[in-house]
A and B are shown apart, each in its own frame.
Chain A
Amino acid sequence: MMKHLEIQEIVKKYNGKPVVNHVTFDMNLGEFVSILGKSGSGKTTILKMIAGTIEPDSGGIYLLGKEISRVPTQKRNIAMVFQEYLLFPHLNVAQNIEFSLKVRGIEKNERTKRMFELLELVQLGGMEKRFPHELSGGQKQRVAVARALISKPDILLLDEPFSSLDFNLRNEMCSFIKSIQRETKTTTIMVTHDREEAMKISDRIVIIDEGNIVQIDTPKGLYNNPTNMFTAEFMGDVNILKREEEFSYMIRPEAMSVSSFRKEGFNKSKVVEKTFLGSSIHYKILWENTFLNISGMNNSEEYSLGQEIYINLPDEKIIKVKHC
Chain B
Amino acid sequence: MRKFISIIIVMILIVPVLALLLWSFSEMISWPKLLPDEFSLRIWSDLIKSKELLKSIITSILISMGVAIVVLFISMPAAIALSQFEFKGKKIIWFLIFAPLIIPSVSTAIGMHILYLKAGLTDSMLGVVLAHIIPTIPYSVKILSFSLELIGKGMREQSEVLGASMLQTIVYIYLPNLKPAIILSSILVFIVSFSQYLITFLIGGGLIKTLPIMLFQVIQNGNRAEVSSYSLVFIISALIATYFIERILGKNIDGKYMINI
Using CB atoms and an 8 Å cutoff, list the residues of chain A in contact with chain B.
48, 51-53, 73-74, 78-80, 82, 84, 86, 88-91, 95, 98-100, 102-104, 147-148, 151
Contact = CB atoms under 8 A, between A and B. Distances in A.
Most buried by B among A89, A98, A99: A99
Contacts of B162: 79, 99-100, 103, 147-148, 151
A88 B157 contact: no
Interface string B20-39: 00000000000000000000
Given A74-B163, A74-B165, A102 B258 contact: yes
A162 B41 CA distance: 73
A82 B162 CA distance: 12
Q: Which residue among B157, B163, B165, B168 has the maximum number of chain A CB atoms within 10 Å of its CB?
A: B163
Looking at A51, A74, A82, the one whose CB has the most chain B CB atoms below 10 A away is: A74
Contacts of A102: 172, 258
A88 B163 contact: no
Contact of A99 (B164, B176, B177): B164
Given A52-B161, A74-B164, A90-B177, 17 more contacts: A52-B160, A53-B157, A53-B160, A79-B162, A88-B155, A88-B177, A89-B177, A91-B258, A95-B258, A98-B258, A99-B159, A99-B164, A103-B162, A103-B165, A103-B168, A104-B163, A148-B162
Nearest to B158: A86
A78 B172 contact: no
Closest 9 CB pairs of A and B: A90-B255, A100-B162, A86-B158, A103-B164, A90-B176, A73-B160, A80-B161, A95-B258, A100-B163
Nearest to A79: B161
B154 interface: yes
A90 B175 CA distance: 10
Contacts of A98: 258
A213 B227 CA distance: 77
A98 B162 CA distance: 10
A84 B154 CA distance: 9
Nearest to B156: A53
B5 interface: no
Contacts of A86: 154-155, 158
Contacts of B161: 51-53, 73, 78-80
Interface in B119-159: 154-155, 157-159
A257 to B, nearest CB: 51
B232 interface: no
Contacts of A104: 163
A154 to B, nearest CB: 13
B259 interface: yes
Contacts of B258: 91, 95, 98, 102
B256 to A, nearest CB: 9
Nearest to A84: B154
Contacts of B157: 48, 51, 53, 73, 82
Contacts of B177: 88-90
A53 B161 CA distance: 8
Contact of A82 (B158, B255, B259): B158
B46 to A, nearest CB: 50
Contacts of A99: 159, 162, 164, 172
Nearest to A86: B158
Contacts of A73: 157, 160-161
